Structure 1
Amino acid sequence: MENLIFKDLNLSEEVQKAIAEMGFEEATSIQSKSIPHIMEGKDVIGQAQTGTGKTCAFGIPAIEMLDSNLESIQVLVLCPTRELAIQSAEELKNVSKYKNKVKILPIYGGQPIERQIMALKKRPQIIIGTPGRVMDHMRRHTLKLSNLKMVILDEADEMLNMGFREDIDVILEKVPEEKQTILFSATMPKEILELTTKYQKNPIHIKVAHKELTVPSIEQYYLEVSEGAKLEVLSRLIDTNSIKLSLVFCNTKKRVDELAINLQSRGYSAEALHGDMRQEQRDKVMNRFRKGKFDICIATDVAARGIDVDDVDAVFNYDIPNDEEYYVHRIGRTGRAGRSGKAFTFVTGREIYKLRDIQRYTKSTITLMKPPTYSDVEENKMNSMVESIKKAILDGQYDKYIGYVEKIVNTLNDQNTEENFITSHDVAAALLKLYAAQTGKQILPIKEIDEDSPSLDGEMVRLFINIGRINKIQPRNIVEGIASSTSLPGKLIGAIEIFDNYTFVEVPREYASEVLESMKNYKMKGKKINIEKSRSKKKPKAYKPKS
């Protein structure tokens, strides 16, 4: 079965829009085979490895099948680890970005249970949790599952390996009998088959074979780069590696267009290639790239299928791919016909986990490298110019210019009353400086990336909320409100300033729109809040509680 395009899966406009923003055009194998069956209400056994897109395979239909007007838990996802619970919750929040009233909550051990109890009182419809913490809430009667419609066991074999079999039995025996049960597992040992027999009704068994993915002949590197520094780092890599032909992959069509414009404005010969272009336009761009009429082709995965060029020097993953098979397809476009090739992948924040999955399944070494420095770019530019000058000298036919050099030396020395005499070396150095200024590309400073800083690109947006001290608001209320309503982790929230009637809070720029959109109708301490970008540039003195 050929993989489906998401537009063919009969999804709502809101989910289609969110998926497009996430960079998904084509569904993976497990998604293509699972989503239609799940949306028909059937029980499904999905046999697939991590990294094949299984979170969206169950997450997309779960969100589409929700009754958003029903403020009770309708979907329960069980995961083996807190990391997977958090990661899955973030992905599902992205899928449901344009679906009003959909609330998703991860619950796991290691987080204060009181905070989770507060979040559960806000009536989420999807719970993603580890078995131990889910059981804990069930014992406390803080997790009410009487309206549950769907249970998903994610990485079921891993949960059994970690000793959660009894917990799973306790949970599944206490949920409503009439429900849809979805199970995903990389392997199908006897214990998993026992679970399916006990808790599923006529399940559809979907198996996706994980291909052996190896790419031994290509030098592979990754760079930890903040979102705001990607363009500059890409420019520097192209300049310092003397790359002639390169492919740059982005996850969305909008991203492709923006990057093409930005690179063109810096003087690079770059063109875009994506699915919104007519076939005639795409063919024209691909033919021009094959003939070397431009240097940098920026493309989405689907649009790049028709590119068959042997002498691509490097591939750049400007956005990390959503599936390791895409990674292999991307970087396999360099190093062809016995030539050497390089692949560079930009990684931001939690994407490091995706990179680890790629390394694991491709059985390849992807080496960490630091972004080239200003000095590296300057050195490379000068070396390139020196080579050009050497070639000009070897080619000859520069005799007529010697007279001009002599004239400059004589004129300057006649005007110079000091003992420092100008030589032809001085003139050559000055001309080289002018040449460098005229032929050089724009070089911008890159802010050092601090992994522990609240925002990876260091830019924060200040928001105004019309609720404050008189409403008994505390910083934890603000953090809980934002963290439970958006995909922004609480630890990334910046300064919180509380006053009598209002509050200021700083959030990373890349999350600002989501926070503003998701908290439009949010209630805090019983009051419907208004949240907007702060118009005040001056920071007033923050409220400090009286001791």
Structure 2
Amino acid sequence: MNFDDFDISDDIKKAIGDMGFTKPTPIQAKAIPEVLRSIDLIAQAQTGSGKTLAFAVPILEKLFIPDRSPQAIVLCPTRELCMQVADEIERAGSKIKKLKVLAVYGGQPIGKQTRVLKKGVHVVVGTPGRVIDHMERENLDLIGVESVILDEADEMLEMGFREDIELILASTPRQRQTLMFSATIPKEVREIAEVYQKNPKFIKISSNKKTTPKITQYYFMCDIRDKFDSLTRLIDAYDVKRSLIFCNTKKSVNYVSKHLKKEDFPVDALHGDMTQKARDKVMNKFRNGNISILVASDVAARGLDIDDVGVVINYDVPQNNDDYIHRIGRTARAGKSGLAFTLVFEDEIPRFNRIKKSNKVEKKEVPMPGEITEMKANLILNEVKKSKNLDEYIKIIKKNEDNEFSSTELAAALLKKMREK
């Protein structure tokens, strides 16, 4: 099956092709035809399933563009996910003239969102709290909504958004289509389904996708005040040559990049507010080796294909397992091995525990300054131990042994020389 098999417009097919997709994932293959039929759906899908396109494609197909009032609303647990989902819907609808998609979430001036809503929006993607805020200010009328999508439903309910979700659902027409996408189906998700869905079809996609065994994954507990210091120690101790550092927000990206530059690391930043020209310039510097560390947000890093990334570091714990897999998959390309580090402080533990359930992540201690020299030396020794055909070099070492320098001391001197390069 490919996307041409779906009963969707050529504009959407072309946009999906431009995104680099030809064949639908299992969740897309099962969900898209059902959503196009306007039935209610509960879709359980795990890591990297492609669920955003599973609802974005049929929602876009059903839009009536001349009507500039909200026809679909997607609820997400976090602002980062809001931005990602809105971005993917826009990309899938990039060939649809006059399409308007808006992400509404806290942390952004409400006035800007209000102005866009007043002009007219076809699809709203928002966190429950900010959606209700706009409803109460009479900026957002859901009377014309035909489809409501609860993305990461289990996570939203776990975060305490049930009351908000129910208020939003109660404010939409009864004949709406209600879609729930969730990694797990706990009791609260089933309760919402019983009250607000009409004979929903249940789709479950078993996850066969595992994180590649060639990626060694570690996590490090740290105090929020010591997070940046922990980052620099990891970069130093593991002799990071070419790395991607992921942050959850533009503010965090700028902070980490700015302070790494102050400490003379060859680094630059990539985030969603940069122009395409600025992004291209940074990426060229990274690919050409002019910088070896790239600090990026998830939105900015979507679609990046970079070879030879040795280490991925999660400075902030990702919002969900899909994002975690997406991030760490930037290393260990083309059969190579790679490292993935995640820094975790107390407030991030619940979120990280959910990620840890699906991945083989080993706990490590952030190395103390006194341990770093030994760790860096061990990295070299581990590579050296793979060497073969050493007879000629053994002869040279033996020839240079004397009362002043034993073979052990010569080896130590060579190791020191390599470390100081």
TM-score, with structure 2 as normaliser:
0.57
Equivalent residue, structure 2, for 1:273: none
Q: Offset at 1:7?
A: 2.4
Give the counterpart letter for 1:165 in structure 2.
R
Q: Does 1:209 align with 2:211?
A: no
Q: Does 1:179 align with 2:157?
A: no
Give the counterpart letter for 1:169 in structure 2.
E
Cα RMSD for the two superposed structures = 4.4
The structure-2 alpha-carbon separation of the partners of 1:201 and 1:325, relative to structure 1 and needing over 3 Å to count, comes to: same
Inter-partner Cα distance in structure 1 for 2:108 and 2:331 = 39
Matches within 5 A, 1:418-437: none
Equivalent residue, structure 2, for 1:111: 108
Inter-partner Cα distance in structure 2 for 1:179 and 1:101 = 24
Contact kept, 8 Å, 2:47 with 2:207, in 1: the verdict is no
Q: Does 1:39 align with 2:39?
A: no
Residues 369-393 of structure 1: per-residue CA shift (max 9 Å, x gap): xxxxxxxxxxxxxxxxxxxxxxxxx
Inter-partner Cα distance in structure 1 for 2:288 and 2:111 = 48
Q: Which among 50, 55, 59 is matched to residue 53 of structure 1?
A: 50
The structure-2 alpha-carbon separation of the partners of 1:140 and 1:231, relative to structure 1 and needing over 3 Å to count, comes to: closer
The structure-2 alpha-carbon separation of the partners of 1:26 and 1:233, relative to structure 1 and needing over 3 Å to count, comes to: same
Inter-partner Cα distance in structure 1 for 2:325 and 2:26 = 12
Aligned-residue sequence identity (percent) comes to 42
Matches within 5 A, 1:32-181: 32-49=29-46, 51-181=48-178
Q: Offset at 1:154?
A: 0.8
Contact kept, 8 Å, 1:55 with 1:88, in 2: the verdict is yes
Q: Does 1:200 align with 2:197?
A: yes
Q: Offset at 1:235?
A: 6.5
Q: Offset at 1:112?
A: 2.2
Q: Offset at 1:127?
A: 0.7
Contact kept, 8 Å, 1:72 with 1:125, in 2: the verdict is yes
Contact kept, 8 Å, 2:331 with 2:339, in 1: the verdict is no
Q: Offset at 1:223?
A: 3.9
Q: Does 1:8 align with 2:26?
A: no
Inter-partner Cα distance in structure 2 for 1:110 and 1:232 = 31
SS in 2 for 1:127: strand
Higher CA-based Rg: 1
SS in 2 for 1:137: helix
Contact kept, 8 Å, 2:104 with 2:126, in 1: the verdict is yes
Q: Offset at 1:36?
A: 1.0
Inter-partner Cα distance in structure 1 for 2:17 and 2:339 = 24
Give the counterpart letter for 1:122 in structure 2.
K
Q: Offset at 1:184?
A: 0.8
Q: Offset at 1:21?
A: 1.8
The structure-2 alpha-carbon separation of the partners of 1:128 and 1:251, relative to structure 1 and needing over 3 Å to count, comes to: closer
Q: Offset at 1:71?
A: 1.4
Query: Unaligned regions of 5+ residues in structure 1, if any?
Result: 238-249, 260-297, 299-313, 335-340, 346-355, 366-547
Contact kept, 8 Å, 2:211 with 2:325, in 1: the verdict is no
Inter-partner Cα distance in structure 2 for 1:211 and 1:16 = 27
Structure with more relative contact order (C-alpha pairs < 8 Å, separation 6 or more): 2
Residues 178-213 of structure 1: per-residue CA shift (max 9 Å, x gap): 111101111111111111111111111011122361
The structure-2 alpha-carbon separation of the partners of 1:12 and 1:222, relative to structure 1 and needing over 3 Å to count, comes to: farther
Matches within 5 A, 1:66-465: 66-211=63-208, 213-217=210-214, 222-223=243-244, 227-228=280-281, 230=283, 234=287, 324=325, 334=335, 341-342=336-337, 363=360
Inter-partner Cα distance in structure 2 for 1:45 and 1:229 = 41
Inter-partner Cα distance in structure 2 for 1:361 and 1:227 = 34
Query: Unaligned regions of 5+ residues in structure 2, if any?
Result: 218-241, 246-267, 269-278, 291-301, 311-321, 341-351, 363-421
SS in 2 for 1:121: helix
Q: Offset at 1:233?
A: 5.2
Q: How many residues align?
A: 284
